[in-house]
């Protein structure tokens, strides 16, 4: 497999293709995360990977991102660590297209933060935040072709931390709710989940005269989704409402608004009939009064007034407060009906979010000050004092649609792309600012970094003469989309971020303008811009809502009441562009007050399946997420910077002077040691000052090639180092176990009065004397037996059935005892016999200072061995038996019977002599042998 890099600022091929290949090769290894500098790139695996668990959480806790492979936990850890160490607010900005995994990433971050931050209120707040999630999903999520549970709004979720770094509250800011979904959905998509959930409660449905989803025009032809349980969803929605303290009465009013929208969608209009005196020929009338009745009932308004409000409009006459009623055409009536449905739902959603906020934001927090990243002066001009005891800091998680480039792009895309431009502007500003501040701090020589500044593009959209304002002006003057397009072209044609029209353009293209965004050129179709910007809800509909007997409904329109001055004649509400720009400014102000962290999510295929990576689709997202820009900005300065101690620790293996021991001249001199390591890989004829610089606490390296060379040297050195470390570690563990074994065998031998040789007693038990844990031949033998974990290996002598002594190798694992022939020169192993330890019945030994022992197996085999390690071997067997909750029978005697073959029984006698005879094992009778042993220096006082 091609070489991959975990941090793409190290890419050899700095291009979209290079990024694509790296992501693809990582994805094939199920490595879904990579970095660009500190920006995390996450590719949706569309399958469960075992990477979010307690163990991983602990691993990432208290580690810097560069110490471990990229992971969403490392971003959460960085944010939490900064929050604590610097007492500054943090933000995590997650972007990507629908289904790319933004919400999932946000959830993992929440889990991580909740797990690592403690505190008495943490659980309550965490539960409140988690409990409110199904509620927001019910009203804000829908099934789309891209994602069965797609969030159809952007959100910024803040978690508040006390001065003891404990979670004390939260707050959600929502924007860009896709309210057009309320009245129509594309093929294969659904309306918001709540519209289907409500049918699963028979009692509520009956009360509201709701029959079946199939009977409602606002619900498309997709009613149920495999992965979604609407009944369960509704239960959770109601529980969440209970949890946040919404009374049953108000809950009923919520269901009434939802049902009213469904009934409203079934109201149909036709041209007004000539016979009707009140009708005008260009007017409209309601076809069937049943849905009208039901809708009015749910809204608690007068049926006749609803009818009038849907079929007529109040028009301002020339003078102040002078109005007259004008009938609406059929088209106009449908427009008014849909506008009312969208208006109702948008207000209901705002109300839900507000209610959630009231439950998760502690009242005492509302007026408390926020600590800002740089102590910026707030609007009132007073600078924040950063060390007030009751000050709190936040971690904010922004889950927002990424850049959108569709076949047809409208005002929705312009607003989404505008917010992404603002985020990109902040990214560039803060990244470069931070870089340059660090250079100054470290005393590094630096030049201004060249980069693509997208500020003019932001201005093209939001300045005084920008597209938003041009749209507002056109909308105010009640002009149409063509006027808007004309004014855009006249006022912005010379702008460097506006793409001039081709000489020959099609009729369709004539209606479009093109903007050069940082993520690519987007062609916007002007049709519908004005209408969407006005977001008209006719005044009489607002007035009607204000007459409702439902307290919830009047609350939903309370802001409109303020605008009407309470006289039921609405002034025009702010246009969508104005409202949106204000919201974005507010969000940006919050984000600028935080230290940002970024996650860019990528969707590898449209089929929502694992192990499928579609190049074209990912390339498009690489462009939309501006990943190449990210790499270029990060590479413009130094691609690598780390504290000296980390650098030395990581690369010391690359030179003889720094590994295994630091040469004397580098003691207490990290700068010289770092220089030595880097100069070792740089060619002598290069200008070193251009390759790296030494700061006050860090080393800065300019080019990725230098890091590659260092990594290559390290990789070459590392397998050895790893093996050595592993060996030492295993020995250490083995030694600890051996000490325990030794103590145990001493006790046992003392009990049975077996004499101990002093040499044996004082020996250090090592277990794997032949290092078979690292022997590839032995690994093969073990693999065949499906075995592992060697606990003993060593040379022994075996007394065979002809009473002759043979050299053998004995290996023991937790499972088996191996009698082997090991040819060390030829590195060959011949397996003589493998017997399971579970078959072992007893061990018998003499009372003298010898190393003989006989293993008795239930299968009636006996092994008669002689070994200097006898007591160690027996102690290991005792331990293994203990582990399997059995007791090993040990017999100490001067004489016993054993079976040299399956058919024969022989008696063995042990006798102490002063010097060994020619045959230490002698046949002393029919089926009897004597084993002579010379007493050895004995260890007394066992
Ligand atoms: N890390 C992950 N591991 C496993 N599956 C994932 C992961 N991230 C996302 N998914 C899968 O992809 C689906 C879509 O993810 P998610 O809802 O987070 O996307 P999104 O970017 O928030 O989409 P939208 O903008 O439409 O709300 C999830 O329901 C889940 O099945």
Question: pTM for this structure?
Answer: 0.69
In the predicted model, is pLDDT for residue 378 greater than 60? no
CA distance 457 to 594: 24
Mean pLDDT, residues 658-667 taken together: 85
- pLDDT category, 93, cuts 50, 70, 90? very high
From 555, 185, 514, 189, select the one nearest 348 (Cα to Cα): 555
From 920, 901, 923, 898, select the one nearest 911 (Cα to Cα): 920
Which atom of ligand 1 lies at the shortest distance from residue 401's CA? 25
Say yes or no: CB of residue 95 within 6 Å of ligand 1.
no
For 846-863, the pLDDT digits (tens) are 988 888 999 999 887 889
User: Could you tell me if 98 and 141 are in contact, meaning their C-beta atoms sit under 8 angstroms apart?
Assistant: no
Residues 6 or more apart whose Cβ sits within 8 Å of residue 769: 792, 793, 794, 795, 869
| Strands 90-96 vs 595-602: parallel, antiparallel or unpaired | parallel
At residue 568, the pLDDT reads 40
- Phi/psi of residue 359, nearest 5 degrees: -85, -30
Q: Considering only residues 835 and 775, tell me which one the structure prediction assigns the higher pLDDT.
A: 835
From 324, 312, 245, select the one nearest 272 (Cα to Cα): 312
ipTM confidence score: 0.99
| Strands 39-43 vs 33-36: parallel, antiparallel or unpaired | antiparallel
At residue 903, the pLDDT reads 85
97 is in an annotated binding site: yes
151 counts as catalytic: yes
Q: Considering only residues 209 and 176, tell me which one the structure prediction assigns the higher pLDDT.
A: 209
How far apart are the CA of 810 and the centre of ligand 1, in A? 55
In the predicted model, is pLDDT for residue 566 greater than 50? no
In the chain, pLDDT over 70 holds for what percent of residues?
Answer: 87
Place of tokens 């608690």: 300
520 is in an annotated binding site: no
Catalytic member of 34, 95, 147, 526: 147
Alpha-carbon dihedral angle through residues 79, 85, 89, 94, given to the nearest 10 degrees = -10
| Strands 90-96 vs 393-401: parallel, antiparallel or unpaired | parallel
98 counts as catalytic: yes
From the CA atom positions of the chain, what is the Rg in Å? 39
Alpha-carbon dihedral angle through residues 542, 548, 554, 560, given to the nearest 10 degrees = 10
Say yes or no: CB of residue 103 within 6 Å of ligand 1.
yes
Q: How many CA atoms lie within 13 A of 576 on its CB side?
A: 25
In the predicted model, is pLDDT for residue 377 greater than 50? no
91 counts as catalytic: no
**DSSP string computed for 725-780:** HHHHHHHHHHHHHHHHHHHHHHHHHHHHT---BHHHHHSPP-SBTT-GGG-HHHHH
At residue 602, the pLDDT reads 96
SS3 readout for 70-118: CCHHHHHHHHHHHHHHHCCCEEEEEEECCCCCHHHHHHHHHHHHHHHCC
Q: Considering only residues 540 and 289, tell me which one the structure prediction assigns the higher pLDDT.
A: 289
In the predicted model, is pLDDT for residue 119 greater than 80? no
At residue 381, the pLDDT reads 32
Which atom of ligand 1 lies at the shortest distance from residue 46's CA? 5
311 is in an annotated binding site: no
Locate 530 and state its tokens: 């004005």
96 is in an annotated binding site: yes
Name, of 435-449, 747-761, 850-864, the range with top average pLDDT: 850-864
Which atom of ligand 1 lies at the shortest distance from residue 107's CA? 18
At residue 467, the pLDDT reads 96
Beta partners for 829?
Answer: 822
CA distance 21 to 122: 42
- Measure the CA angle with vertex 827, ends 823 and 828; round to 5°: 65
Say yes or no: CB of residue 189 within 6 Å of ligand 1.
no
Say yes or no: CB of residue 100 within 6 Å of ligand 1.
yes
How far apart are the CA of 46 and the centre of ligand 1, in A? 8
Locate 770 and state its tokens: 């032949």
Mean pLDDT, residues 300-318 taken together: 85
In the predicted model, is pLDDT for residue 117 greater than 90? no
CA distance 269 to 271: 7
- Phi/psi of residue 34, nearest 5 degrees: -140, 165
At residue 783, the pLDDT reads 84
At residue 256, the pLDDT reads 97
Say yes or no: CB of residue 59 within 6 Å of ligand 1.
no
- Phi/psi of residue 805, nearest 5 degrees: -100, 130
CA distance 893 to 844: 8
Mean pLDDT, residues 80-101 taken together: 89
- Phi/psi of residue 228, nearest 5 degrees: -120, 130
442 counts as catalytic: no
Alpha-carbon dihedral angle through residues 344, 346, 351, 354, given to the nearest 10 degrees = -170
Beta partners for 929?
Answer: 908, 923
At residue 421, the pLDDT reads 92
CA distance 513 to 521: 10
Query: Of 147, 176, 625, which is best to mutate to test ligand 1, by the most ligand atoms within 8 angstroms of its C-beta?
Result: 147
**DSSP string computed for 680-706:** TTS-TTS-HHHHEEE-SSEEEE--HHH
- Measure the CA angle with vertex 554, ends 551 and 557; round to 5°: 150
Say yes or no: CB of residue 402 within 6 Å of ligand 1.
no
Say yes or no: CB of residue 355 within 6 Å of ligand 1.
no
Q: Considering only residues 458 and 883, tell me which one the structure prediction assigns the higher pLDDT.
A: 458
User: Could you tell me if 36 and 634 are in contact, meaning their C-beta atoms sit under 8 angstroms apart?
Assistant: yes
Which atom of ligand 1 lies at the shortest distance from residue 147's CA? 26
CA distance 495 to 493: 6
In the chain, pLDDT over 90 holds for what percent of residues?
Answer: 45
User: Could you tell me if 758 and 937 are in contact, meaning their C-beta atoms sit under 8 angstroms apart?
Assistant: yes
How far apart are the CA of 602 and the centre of ligand 1, in A? 10
From 155, 150, 151, select the one nearest 129 (Cα to Cα): 155
- Phi/psi of residue 694, nearest 5 degrees: -105, 120
101 is in an annotated binding site: yes
103 counts as catalytic: yes
- pLDDT category, 379, cuts 50, 70, 90? very low
Locate 452 and state its tokens: 């693509």
Say yes or no: CB of residue 104 within 6 Å of ligand 1.
yes
Residue nearest to atom 14 of ligand 1 (CA): 99
Which atom of ligand 1 lies at the shortest distance from residue 151's CA? 27
Query: Of 44, 98, 402, which is best to mutate to test ligand 1, by the most ligand atoms within 8 angstroms of its C-beta?
Result: 44
- Phi/psi of residue 909, nearest 5 degrees: -120, 140
CA distance 584 to 121: 31
Measured CA distances, 801 to 882, 900, 928 (Å): 31, 5, 12
Residue nearest to atom 15 of ligand 1 (CA): 101
In the predicted model, is pLDDT for residue 87 greater than 80? yes
- pLDDT category, 281, cuts 50, 70, 90? low
Measured CA distances, 233 to 146, 149, 197, 599 (Å): 20, 12, 7, 29
- pLDDT category, 374, cuts 50, 70, 90? very low
Catalytic member of 37, 99, 154, 695: 99
User: Could you tell me if 760 and 851 are in contact, meaning their C-beta atoms sit under 8 angstroms apart?
Assistant: yes
Query: Of 104, 137, 420, which is best to mutate to test ligand 1, by the most ligand atoms within 8 angstroms of its C-beta?
Result: 104
Measured CA distances, 681 to 11, 641, 707 (Å): 19, 17, 9
381 is in an annotated binding site: no
In the predicted model, is pLDDT for residue 41 greater than 60? yes
Residue nearest to atom 31 of ligand 1 (CA): 46
Locate 409 and state its tokens: 């792009």
What count of other Cβ atoms lies within 10 Å of the Cβ of residue 868? 15
Average pLDDT of every residue of the chain = 85
3 state SS of 449 = coil
Whether omega before 660 lies within 30 degrees of 0, making that bond cis, reads: yes
Locate 210 and state its tokens: 């709701």
Every domain of the chain and the residues it spans: 640-717, 752-904
In the predicted model, is pLDDT for residue 831 greater than 90? yes
- Measure the CA angle with vertex 262, ends 261 and 266; round to 5°: 110
At residue 227, the pLDDT reads 83
Which atom of ligand 1 lies at the shortest distance from residue 141's CA? 27
Catalytic member of 4, 7, 89, 150: 150
- pLDDT category, 437, cuts 50, 70, 90? confident
In the predicted model, is pLDDT for residue 66 greater than 90? no
Q: How many CA atoms lie within 13 A of 101 on its CB side?
A: 25
Say yes or no: CB of residue 605 within 6 Å of ligand 1.
no
478 counts as catalytic: no
How far apart are the CA of 511 and the centre of ligand 1, in A? 36
CA distance 108 to 599: 12
User: Could you tell me if 179 and 345 are in contact, meaning their C-beta atoms sit under 8 angstroms apart?
Assistant: yes
- Phi/psi of residue 231, nearest 5 degrees: -65, -50
Locate 264 and state its tokens: 């409203």
Mean pLDDT, residues 341-358 taken together: 94
3 state SS of 35 = strand
Place of tokens 């029919």: 926
Weakest mean pLDDT among 20-29, 42-51, 471-480, 758-767: 758-767
The torsion region of residue 609 among left (phi > 0), alpha (psi -120 to 50) and beta comes to: beta
* Strand arrangement, sheet containing 906-912: 895-898, 906-912, 928-933, 921-925
From 174, 144, 142, 175, select the one nearest 158 (Cα to Cα): 174
What sign does the CA torsion over 213, 219, 221, 223 have? negative
Say yes or no: CB of residue 697 within 6 Å of ligand 1.
no
What count of other Cβ atoms lies within 10 Å of the Cβ of residue 356? 26
Is 592 buried (19+), middle (13-18) or exposed (0-12) by CB count in 10 A? Answer: middle
77 counts as catalytic: no
Report whether CATH 3.40.50.150 matches the domain 752-904. no
452 counts as catalytic: no
Mean pLDDT, residues 636-657 taken together: 87
3 state SS of 18 = helix
At residue 368, the pLDDT reads 46
- Go through 742-780 and write b for each residue having 16 or more CB atoms within 10 A of its CB, e for each that does not: beebbebbeeeebbbbeebbeeebbbbebebbebeebee
100 is in an annotated binding site: yes
Say yes or no: CB of residue 136 within 6 Å of ligand 1.
no
């Amino acid at each position: 497999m091609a070489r991959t890099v975990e941090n793409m600022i190290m890419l050899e091929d700095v291009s979209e293709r290079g990024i694509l290949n790296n992501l693809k090769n990582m994805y094939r290894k199920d490595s879904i995360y990579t970095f660009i500098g500190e920006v995390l790139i996450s590719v949706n695996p569309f399958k469960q990977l075992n990477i979010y668990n307690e163990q991983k959480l602990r691993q990432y806790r208290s580690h810097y991102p560069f110490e471990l492979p990229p992971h969403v936990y490392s971003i959460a850890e960085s944010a939490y660590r900064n929050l604590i160490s610097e007492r500054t607010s943090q933000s995590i900005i997650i972007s990507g297209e629908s289904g790319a995994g933004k919400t999932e990433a946000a959830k993992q971050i929440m889990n991580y933060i909740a797990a690592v931050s403690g505190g008495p209120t943490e659980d309550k707040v965490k539960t409140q935040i988690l409990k409110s999630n199904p509620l927001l999903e019910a009203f804000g999520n829908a099934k789309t072709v891209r994602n069965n549970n797609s969030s159809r709004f952007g959100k910024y979720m803040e978690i508040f931390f006390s001065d003891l770094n404990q979670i004390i509250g939260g707050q959600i800011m929502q924007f860009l709710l896709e309210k057009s979904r309320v009245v129509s959905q594309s093929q294969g998509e659904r309306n918001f989940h709540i519209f289907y959930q409500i049918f699963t409660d028979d009692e509520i449905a009956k009360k509201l005269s709701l029959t079946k989803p199939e009977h409602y025009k606002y619900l498309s032809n997709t009613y149920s989704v495999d992965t979604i349980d609407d009944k369960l969803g509704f239960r959770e929605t109601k529980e969440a409402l209970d949890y946040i303290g919404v009374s049953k009465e108000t809950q009923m009013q919520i269901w009434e608004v939802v049902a009213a929208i469904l009934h409203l969608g079934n109201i149909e209009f036709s041209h007004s009939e000539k016979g009707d005196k009140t009708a005008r020929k260009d007017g409209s009338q309601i076809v069937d009064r049943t849905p009208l009745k039901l809708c009015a009932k749910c809204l608690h308004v007068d049926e006749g007034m609803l009818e009038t409000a849907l079929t007529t409009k109040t028009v301002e006459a020339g003078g102040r407060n002078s109005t007259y009623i004008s009938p609406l055409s059929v088209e106009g009536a449908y427009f008014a009906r849909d506008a009312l449905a969208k208006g109702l739902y948008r207000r209901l959603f705002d109300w839900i979010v507000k209610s959630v906020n009231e439950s998760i934001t502690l009242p005492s927090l509302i007026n408390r000050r926020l600590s800002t990243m740089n102590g910026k002066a707030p609007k009132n001009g007073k600078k924040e004092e950063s060390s007030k005891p009751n000050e709190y800091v936040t971690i904010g998680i922004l889950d927002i649609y990424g850049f959108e480039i569709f076949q047809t792009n409208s005002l929705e895309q312009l607003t989404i792309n505008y917010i992404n431009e603002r985020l990109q502007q902040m990214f560039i500003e803060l990244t470069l600012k931070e870089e340059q501040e660090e250079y100054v701090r470290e005393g590094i020589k630096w030049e201004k970094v060249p980069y693509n500044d997208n500020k003019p593009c932001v201005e093209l959209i939001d300045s005084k003469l920008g597209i938003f304002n041009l749209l507002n002006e056109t909308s105010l003057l009640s002009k149409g989309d063509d006027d808007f397009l004309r004014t855009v072209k006249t006022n912005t044609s010379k702008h460097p971020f506006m793409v001039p029209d081709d000489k020959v353009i099609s009729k369709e293209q004539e209606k479009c303008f093109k903007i050069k965004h940082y993520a690519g050129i987007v062609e916007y179709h002007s049709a519908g811009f004005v209408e969407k910007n006005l977001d008209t809800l006719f005044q009489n509909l607002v007035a009607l809502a204000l007459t409702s007997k439902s307290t919830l409904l009047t609350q939903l329109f309370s802001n409109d009441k303020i605008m009407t001055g309470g006289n039921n004649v609405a002034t025009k509400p702010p246009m969508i562009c104005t409202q949106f720009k204000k919201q974005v400014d507010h969000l940006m102000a919050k984000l600028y007050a935080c230290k940002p962290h970024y996650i860019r999510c990528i969707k590898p295929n449209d089929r929502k399946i694992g192990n499928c990576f579609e190049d074209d689709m990912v390339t498009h997202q690489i462009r939309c997420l501006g990943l190449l820009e990210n790499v270029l900005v990060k590479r413009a300065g130094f691609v690598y910077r780390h504290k000296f101690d980390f650098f030395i620790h990581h690369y010391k293996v690359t030179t003889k002077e720094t590994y295994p021991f630091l040469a004397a001249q580098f003691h207490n001199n990290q700068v010289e040691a770092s220089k030595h390591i880097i100069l070792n890989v740089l060619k002598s004829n290069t200008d070193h000052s251009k390759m790296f610089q030494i700061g006050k606490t860090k080393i800065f390296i300019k080019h990725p090639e230098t890091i590659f060379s260092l990594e290559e040297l390290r990789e070459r050195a590392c397998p050895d180092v790893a093996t050595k470390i592993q060996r030492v570690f295993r020995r250490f563990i083995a030694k600890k176990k051996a000490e325990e074994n030794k103590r145990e065998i001493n006790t046992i031998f003392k009990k049975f009065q077996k004499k101990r040789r002093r040499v044996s007693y004082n020996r250090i038990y090592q277990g794997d004397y032949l290092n078979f844990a690292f022997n590839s031949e032995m690994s093969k033998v073990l693999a065949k037996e499906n075995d592992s974990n060697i606990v003993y290996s060593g040379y022994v002598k075996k007394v065979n059935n002809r009473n002759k002594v043979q050299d053998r190798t004995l290996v023991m694992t937790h499972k088996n005892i191996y009698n082997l022939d090991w040819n060390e020169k030829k590195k060959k192993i011949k397996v003589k016999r493998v017997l399971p330890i579970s078959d072992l019945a007893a061990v018998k030994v003499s009372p003298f200072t010898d190393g003989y022992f006989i293993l008795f197996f239930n299968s009636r085999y006996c092994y008669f061995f002689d070994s200097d390690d006898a007591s160690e071997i027996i102690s290991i067997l005792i331990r293994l038996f203990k582990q399997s909750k059995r007791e090993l029978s040990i017999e100490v005697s001067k004489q016993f019977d054993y079976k040299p073959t399956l058919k024969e029984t022989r008696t063995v006698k042990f006798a102490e002599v002063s010097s060994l005879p020619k045959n230490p094992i002698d046949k002393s009778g029919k089926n009897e042998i004597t084993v002579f042993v010379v007493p050895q220096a004995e260890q007394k006082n066992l």
